[in-house]
Structure formats: structure tokens, C-alpha cells
Amino acid sequence: MDLRIRMTEAEIAQEAGDIFCRCVTQKPNAALGLATGATPLALYAYLQQEYQRGIVSFREVQTFNLDEYCDLPKYHRNSYFTYMSENLFSQIDVQDHNIHFLDGNTTDVAAEANAYAQAIVDAGGIDIQLLGIGRNGHIGFNEPADHFTDGVFRTKLSESTLEANRIYFSDIAMPRYALTMGIKDILQARQIILIATGEKKAEAVRAMVKGPVTPQCPASVLQQHADVIVFLDEAAASLLS
Ligand code: PGA
């Protein structure tokens, strides 16, 4: 793992964002794996800015988001599709037909999983996968478990995840299930960029970097990938001595 500890979120957004921009400039039809949550917001703002400055175009890019809540309409204000539309897609020139999202309301998860896997193959595989990390070490919605998952599946959100995300669901019940790409799908990306900021992530970061590779800390599996860049602020890195 290539650990890069930076002083500010803005520095991380710029450095990580430049990696995305270079990738897309060199390969205009790159496939980007995208994540949601609070962490990538600064990065998405930076990508918007670079698009508006004419530095980069996403016109031929394909995007694949990691996960989506179940039992929430696609256009609900709390869906991850809405998050991506508001924070990135509506602000850049990515084309709608190149945006790939899991359907959290599908009645046939196996068919959804197969279709997503095929779409990724058709796009030539994911070039860069962006990840955050949960306080419990989850990546995507791969919660601590007794095995590493393969393929898109429906997952029950852990108490830790429900707790962390409850702030977004003040007036409606938070979904308890989600569809997520599995660990082995994530590992197939050519390059992985994980961003973690804030002291609440410090223990998960320590377990990811220094702990054993175990599905109890799903992010620890990234130790086995050949090209992972981990951007941390000092708080998130505070337990790495
Ligand atoms: P966060 O979520 O960016 O909102 O902290 C990260 C994650 O759960 O993967």
C-alpha cells in the first residue's frame, strides 16, 4: 500500500483528483468505480472544478458505483443515485447511458449481480476504484464477516454503519439492507484509491494497514492488491506508528 498522509482534505482531494483526471485524459473511455459518503465530497468538488476549467472531460467515461440502499426509490433524496447526481454527475459531462448503478429495489439480486458484472466486463474492467472506509473497516457495504464476498449481493447493514449514517435519515427510517459489490469485484480494479479522514477512522485504518488480512476487517484485503494508494489526514493516520 502506498500511504500518503496529507495535512488537509483539500490536498487529498487535489492529489487524488489529479490521478483521476490523468487517467481520464490518457484513456477517455476509462471505467471509474465510485463511492459515496462524506469522504469523497471534496474530491468530487475538485473533479467538477477541473471539468469546468476545461482540464478534463468525462464524456466517454463509464462509472460504476459501489453500492445502493435497498427499499429506497432510486430518486429518493437519500439514495446514493441522488447523491451522485447532485455531487458529481449533474455537474460534469458524463453521459447518462454511461452511468451504472445497482438497483436496490430489484426482486432478482442474482440477475442484477450478473448484469453488473457483465457491464464491468463490457467496459473493459474498472481502471480506478475509489473507496472510503467504514469505522468498522467496511469497504463498499462489505461489513465485517467470516468470509470475503464475491459478486454483487444483498447485505444487512451493521449497527456501526446504521449509527454512522443515521444523521442522513432524520425523518424516515434508514434502510437496513443494501446491494453492494463484493470484495473480489473491488480487488479486480486496476488501481484502488482509498481516502480516510478524521479520528473516527483511525482504528479501521490501523487494522487495514497493520492488522492481519481478515474478513473481520474487510479493508485489510487491500494489502493483497498490487496498486493501492491510501490518502489519510493526520487524524486518520494517528494509530499508525
Ligand atoms: P463516510 O463513509 O465517507 O461517510 O465516512 C465511508 C464509508 O462508509 O465507506
Span 149-179, pLDDT tens digits: 999 999 999 999 999 888 888 777 899 999 9
65 given a catalytic annotation:
no
Query: Are the C-beta atoms of 203 and 141 separated by less than 8 Å?
Result: no
- Residue of the CA atom closest to atom 8 of ligand 1: 134
**Is 136 labeled as catalytic in the residue annotation?**
yes
Nearest to 178 by CA among 196, 199, 152, 201: 152
Q: State the Cα–Cα distance between residues 138 and 211, nearest whole angstrom.
A: 14
Tell me the pTM. 0.97
93 is annotated as an active-site residue: no
Predicted pLDDT at 96: 98
Going across the sheet that includes 2-6, the strands are: 2-6, 228-233, 191-196, 128-131, 31-34, 62-65, 99-100
Kindly report the length of the chain. Answer: 241
Give the per-residue pLDDT at 171: 73
- How, if at all, do strands 153-156 and 177-180 pair? antiparallel
Ligand 1: distance of its center to the CA of 13 in Å? 15
Question: Ligand 1 centroid to 166 CA: how many Å?
Answer: 12
35 CA closest ligand 1 atom index: 9
CA 137 to centroid of ligand 1, rounded, Å: 10
Is 86 one of the catalytic residues? no
The angle formed by the CA atoms of residues 110, 72 and 97, to the nearest 5 degrees, is: 65
Which atom of ligand 1 is least distant from the CA of 37? 4
Q: What is the pLDDT of residue 241?
A: 83
Q: What is the DSSP letter of 68?
A: E
Name the catalytic one among 50, 67, 68, 185: 67
DSSP type of residue 217: B
pLDDT one-digit tens code per residue, 52-73: 999 999 999 999 999 999 999 9
How far, in Å, from the CA of 148 to the mean position of ligand 1?
20
Residue type, 104: G
Nearest protein Cα to ligand 1, atom 2: 37
Residue 100 parent element (H or E): strand 99-100
Tell me the pLDDT of the chain (241 aa) as tens digits. Answer: 999 999 999 999 999 999 999 999 999 999 999 999 999 999 999 999 999 999 999 999 999 999 999 999 999 999 999 999 999 999 999 999 999 999 999 999 999 999 999 999 999 999 999 999 999 999 999 999 999 999 999 999 999 999 988 888 877 789 999 999 999 999 999 999 999 999 999 999 999 999 999 999 999 999 999 999 999 999 999 999 8
Average pLDDT along the chain: 97
For residue 233, give the DSSP letter. Answer: E
Residue ranges lining ligand 1, Cβ < 6 Å: 37-39, 132-134
